[in-house]
């Protein structure tokens, strides 16, 4: 019997359920006490002060004891705020409580952000910090606090976008022969600067004209243009900072803010040169047509835009040195093949 199973047998099921819902049960009991205090004629100011004090202590306790350690998700904090807010609304204190809850959540958010920044800096300075991208580190930090979900990946993607756009860092250290870049990267960088100039000039003119019809629509369009400019800056910086890198274990596949995946050589079926787009393949190039197709033995899960995930067995690339990449992959597969050169060569004759 496993250790986890033994622990489950030692703790009765009702006790486990009680511990899981303990914050909500305590909060409901407190809300009942607030209602009784209001019915007894206690001043509304006193009730509000007690409610704010209880909420602040409860939020800090749950965060430090459960959320920070990974035992509960961040959503567990809502089990304290929502019942108290509903009770204050019932007692006619919703206006004052709304301001108080905003202050409490603001303070808690600052604490969470400071701790997250400290954790990111510690991970980036660690032994493998130079081998990991900012996006990977932020994803780990966010998932430690919110759990693994689509929302946590989207938040990590947005945070990494701002980190790339407004910070500068040295390129990921890779040896010269193991670095590969997209063949359109230089042209894309020049195009981005042209687009940014157009955003400034054209955006100002469009904003002035559109504001005569609708001020809200003008500011919404301006916010979209600013967001697009930040994304373009982040994409250019991510392309510069993190090229495609190969090592003895596998391939770090990165394309700016668009694609990110770790590929082990044992999962690679082969690679072939192509001249046109391949239907169903994951697009891992900036523009034009691909010149390489990487084929996996089993479907690979890659992270794409907005932190979403996509499963694919074919990856289309457009590298500046396709022949050197093919030779490198062939050499890596030969070394990782348990049956020697004969089986490794057979892999290439299938294309």
Question: Over 50: is that where the pLDDT of 347 sits?
Answer: no
Q: Averaged over 32-53, what is the pLDDT?
A: 72
Q: What's residue 129's pLDDT?
A: 47
Question: Over 80: is that where the pLDDT of 230 sits?
Answer: yes
Report pLDDT digits (tens) over 112-128.
666 667 777 777 665 45
Q: Averaged over 158-165, what is the pLDDT?
A: 86
Integer Cα distance of 218 and 212 in angstroms? 9
Token pair belonging to 121: 């800096």
Q: Ramachandran region of residue 340, left (φ > 0), alpha (ψ -120 to 50) or beta?
A: left
Work out the pLDDT band at 96, boundaries 50, 70, 90. low
Q: What is the DSSP letter of 290?
A: -
Q: What's residue 346's pLDDT?
A: 39
- Provide long-range contacts, Cβ within 8 A and 24+ apart, for 313-316: 314/278, 314/280, 314/281, 314/282, 315/253, 315/261, 315/281, 315/282, 315/284, 316/274, 316/277, 316/278, 316/281, 316/282, 316/283, 316/284, 316/285, 316/290, 316/292
Integer Cα distance of 195 and 330 in angstroms? 39
Indicate the pairing of strand 309-317 with strand 282-284.
parallel
Q: Averaged over 157-181, what is the pLDDT?
A: 76
Q: What is the DSSP letter of 74?
A: G
Q: Poorest-confidence range of 90-104, 136-150, 262-276?
A: 90-104
In 3D space, the residue among 331, 293, 327, 332 whose CA is nearest the CA of residue 313 turns out to be 293
Phi, psi of 175 (to 5 degrees): -70, 155
Instruction: Look up the pTM and report it.
Output: 0.65
Collapsed DSSP state (helix, strand, coil) of residue 271: strand
Question: Over 50: is that where the pLDDT of 67 sits?
Answer: yes
Integer Cα distance of 9 and 16 in angstroms? 11
Q: What's residue 170's pLDDT?
A: 64
Work out the pLDDT band at 184, boundaries 50, 70, 90. confident
Q: What's residue 210's pLDDT?
A: 85
Q: What's residue 165's pLDDT?
A: 86
Question: Over 50: is that where the pLDDT of 206 sits?
Answer: yes
Report pLDDT digits (tens) over 71-87.
666 667 767 767 777 77
Question: Over 80: is that where the pLDDT of 271 sits?
Answer: yes
Q: Which residues make beta-bridge pairs with 273?
A: 292
Q: How many CB atoms lie within 10 A of CB 226?
A: 12
> What average pLDDT does the chain have?
75
Q: Averaged over 176-193, what is the pLDDT?
A: 84
In 3D space, the residue among 58, 63, 106, 64 whose CA is nearest the CA of residue 84 turns out to be 58
Q: What's residue 287's pLDDT?
A: 85
Rg (CA), the chain: 27
Within 8 A by CB and 6+ apart from 84, the residues are 27, 30, 31, 34, 51, 54, 55, 97
Work out the pLDDT band at 232, boundaries 50, 70, 90. very high
Q: What's residue 70's pLDDT?
A: 64
Residues 186, 191, 192: CA angle, nearest 5 degrees: 100
In 3D space, the residue among 277, 275, 264 whose CA is nearest the CA of residue 314 turns out to be 277
Integer Cα distance of 3 and 42 in angstroms? 52
Q: Averaged over 217-233, what is the pLDDT?
A: 89
Q: Averaged over 85-93, what is the pLDDT?
A: 70
């Amino acid at each position: 019997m496993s250790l986890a199973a033994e622990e489950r047998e030692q703790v009765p099921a009702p006790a486990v359920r009680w511990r899981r819902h303990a914050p909500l049960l305590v909060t409901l009991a407190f809300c009942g006490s607030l209602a009784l205090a209001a019915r007894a004629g206690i001043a509304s100011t006193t009730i509000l002060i007690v409610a704010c004090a209880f909420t602040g202590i409860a939020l800090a306790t749950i965060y430090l004891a459960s959320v920070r350690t990974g035992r509960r998700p961040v959503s567990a904090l809502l089990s304290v705020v929502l019942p108290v807010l509903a009770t204050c609304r019932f007692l006619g204190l919703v206006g004052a409580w709304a301001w108080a809850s905003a202050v409490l959540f603001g303070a808690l958010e600052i604490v969470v952000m400071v701790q997250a920044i400290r954790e990111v800096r510690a991970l980036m300075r660690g032994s493998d910090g130079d081998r990991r991208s900012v996006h990977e580190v932020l994803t780990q930090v966010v998932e430690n606090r919110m759990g693994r979900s689509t929302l946590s990946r989207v938040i990590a993607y947005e945070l990494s976008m701002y980190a790339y756009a407004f910070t500068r860092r040295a390129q990921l250290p890779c040896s010269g022969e193991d670095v590969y870049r997209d063949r359109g990267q230089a042209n894309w960088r020049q195009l981005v600067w042209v687009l940014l100039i157009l955003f400034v000039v054209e955006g100002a003119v469009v904003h002035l004209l559109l504001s005569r019809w609708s001020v809200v629509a003008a500011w919404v369009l301006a916010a979209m243009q600013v967001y697009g400019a930040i994304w373009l800056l982040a994409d250019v910086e991510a392309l510069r900072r993190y090229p495609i890198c190969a090592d003895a274990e596998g391939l770090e596949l990165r394309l700016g803010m668009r694609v990110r995946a770790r590929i082990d050589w044992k999962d690679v079926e082969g690679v072939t040169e192509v001249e046109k787009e391949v239907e169903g393949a994951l697009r891992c190039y900036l523009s034009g047509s691909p010149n390489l197709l990487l084929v996996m033995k089993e479907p690979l899960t890659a992270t794409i835009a907005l932190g979403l995930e996509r499963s694919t067995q074919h990856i289309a690339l457009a590298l500046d040195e396709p022949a050197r990449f093919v030779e490198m992959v062939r050499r890596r597969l030969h070394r990782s093949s348990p049956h020697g050169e004969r089986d490794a060569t057979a892999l290439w004759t299938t294309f």
